[in-house]
Amino acid sequence: MKDDYTKHAEISQALIYCRVSSTKQRLEGSGLESQEQRCRAYAEDKGYLVEGVFPDDVSGGGDFLRRPGMVALLSYLDAQKGKSYVVIFDDLKRFARDTEFHLKLRREFAKRGARIECLNFRFEDSPEGKFIETVIAAQGELEREQNRRQVVQKMKARVENGFWVFRAPVGYKHVPSPTGGGKVLVPDEVLAPVVRAALEGFATGHFASQAEVQRFLESNPHYPKDQKNGNIRPMTISRLLKKVVYAGYVEAPKWGVSVRKGQHEGLISFETFQRIQDNLEGRKRGPAARADYNEDFPLRGFVDCDCCGNSMTAAWSKGKYQHYAYYRCVTRGCEMKGKSVPRAKMEDGFEEILKGLQPAQGLFELAKAMLRDAWDMRLATAQGDKDEFRKQYQDVNKQIEGLLDRIVEAKTASVVSAYEARIDKLERQKFILSERLENSVPPKGRLEDCIELALKFLSSPWNIYKNGDHVMRQTVLRLAFSEPVRYGQNGVYGTPKLSFPFKYLRDNFLMKSEMVLLGRIELPTSSLPMTRSTTELQQPTILRASEELPY
C-alpha cells in the first residue's frame, strides 16, 4: 500500500471551493477571502498546486446543483478528464448541510476521480470513518433546520405585529426603526408617487386595464424594469396590483398570518385596494384597452360607426408619395365598410365638440357656488355618517365573534374552512369601515384645495386633451363622455352623450337661456297695439335651442 506521501506526490493539482450563505455576506464580510486564504495555506503545506478557486454566495437549500460555483467546479472536473485533483474545503459544513446531498456529492466527486480534503475533518474509507462522516453531515442538517425554524418563528412574530419582513416592494425602502428592534418600511420619495398613481389610476378607471398600467410604469424613467429591452413583465404588474402592503397592511398566508394593520404608512387606502381586487376579478371592470394602441389615432376605439354601432378602426395608408392617416369602419355588411375618413376631418370635428364643453364663465361660477353648497351639506351630514359607520363596524365585530364561537363547536374541516373564509371577508370589511370611520369627516381647509383639479377639468377639457399624452387623452374621453360618440355617413357627429357634470351644466344652461315670455315673440316692425291677458303674461314658453348652441 502506498503511503500518504506517495499519494500526495501523485495528486499535486488542487481546486479550492469556498461558500457563504448570501450575497450580503460576500459584499459586507470577508468570509470568502478568509476561506480561500486558509485553503491556500493548507495546500501549500501539503505541497499542492492550486489550479483554480470556485466561490459561491448562495446556499442552494442543500442541493449542490443549485450552487453556480459547485456546478462550475464539477464541469471543470468533467473537462479535465485523465487528471487527478484534490478538492479542498474550509469546513465540512461548506461541503453540504444536508445528509442526502452530502452523500450524493461524495459520489459525484468519486465518479470524477477527485479526492476531497477538509481543513477540520479527515475523510476515511473505513466503516467507522463513513459512520462519523454521516453523523457530522446529519448534525449539520439538524443545525440548518433548527436555524431555519428559528428564523421563520421570528419573522412570523414580526409579521403578526404588523412589520413587513420581506424584501421592500417597489415604492418603499427599509430603514432602521426609530424605536429600535429591526427595520420598518417607509415610502420611497421618488417611486412612491409613481406607484400610488398607478394603483389609484387602475382603481378609479384612469387606467382601464393592466396593459395601461404597464405602459404608464414603463414610461417612467425611475421605475425599475425587469426586462433587458426596458419593458415590464405582465406578471410583475399583476403582482403589484395584488400586494396588500401598499394599503398599509401586512399578511403571510404561508405562515397562517391573515391580513392585519401594518406598522408602515400605506400608499393607498384599503378601500382602494379592495376596488382594485374587484377590477381584477371582473366584478367592476372597465373596457379593456387595446394592446396595439397608437398615439397617432387617439380616437380609435372611442368613435363608433353610426350605421352599425361598432367601433371604427384607424391606420396609415400608403400613397404614391407618402402615407395618409384614415379612420374607417371594417364591419361586414355595414354601408360605411371600407369608406375611409381622413384623420384631420374626423379629429377636427371632435375638436369642436370638446371645445363646446367649456362652460361660460358665469355658469362656471354658478357650478363653483353649487359645489360650495354641496361641501357645506357634506360637512353637516358627516357626523351622521360617522355614527352609521361606527354602528356597522360594531355589527361586523359581533358577526365575527359569533363565527368564532361556531368554529369551536364545528367538527368537520370543511365547515371550519367555510367559517374561516367568512371571517376573513368580514375582517376585510372591518378594515374598510375603519378607514371610512376615520375619514368620514372631511379635513378642514378651503374647498378650492380639495376640488381644484375637478374644477380645472370642468373649465378646460379641451386644453387638457390637447396638451396631454395618450393616456391623459384617453382619461379625458372617459371622464367627459358616458358613451363613445357616433360618426355618420354625412361626415357629422351625432349628439354626444355626456358624463353627468357636463350634462348637468348643459341642461342648466338650456333651462336658464330658453325661458322667454310669449309676449316677447313678435315682429319688431309691427305698429299695432298689443293686448294680452294677465294669464299670458304669467305663462312662459320654453323654446328648444339648437344643439350647436355653445355654453
For each of the chain's 551 residues, which pLDDT tens digit applies?
444 444 444 557 899 998 887 655 555 556 788 889 999 999 999 899 999 999 888 665 556 677 888 889 999 999 988 788 999 988 877 777 678 888 888 888 888 888 888 888 887 778 887 788 788 778 878 887 888 889 889 999 999 989 999 999 999 999 988 777 788 999 999 999 999 999 999 998 888 889 989 989 988 888 999 888 888 999 999 999 999 999 999 999 899 888 889 989 999 998 899 999 988 887 544 444 444 556 788 888 788 898 888 888 888 888 878 888 888 888 888 888 888 888 888 888 888 888 877 766 666 666 667 667 766 776 677 667 777 778 888 888 888 888 888 887 787 888 888 888 888 888 888 888 887 777 766 665 555 565 666 667 777 788 888 887 777 787 788 788 888 888 887 888 888 888 777 776 666 655 554 444 444 444 444 444 444 444 444 444 433 433 443 43
Residues 6+ apart with CB under 8 A from 461: 354, 357, 358, 476, 479, 480, 502
514, 542 contact by CB (below 8 A) = yes
Q: Which pLDDT score is estimated for 418? A: 84
Q: Which pLDDT score is estimated for 54? A: 92
Domains of the chain by range and CATH?
4-155 (3.40.50.1390), 172-280 (3.90.1750.20), 361-454 (no CATH)
CA 367 to chain centre: 36
Helix, strand or coil, per DSSP, at residue 505: helix
326, 346 contact by CB (below 8 A) = no
The secondary structure of 424-441 as a DSSP string is HHHHHHHHHHHHHHHHSS
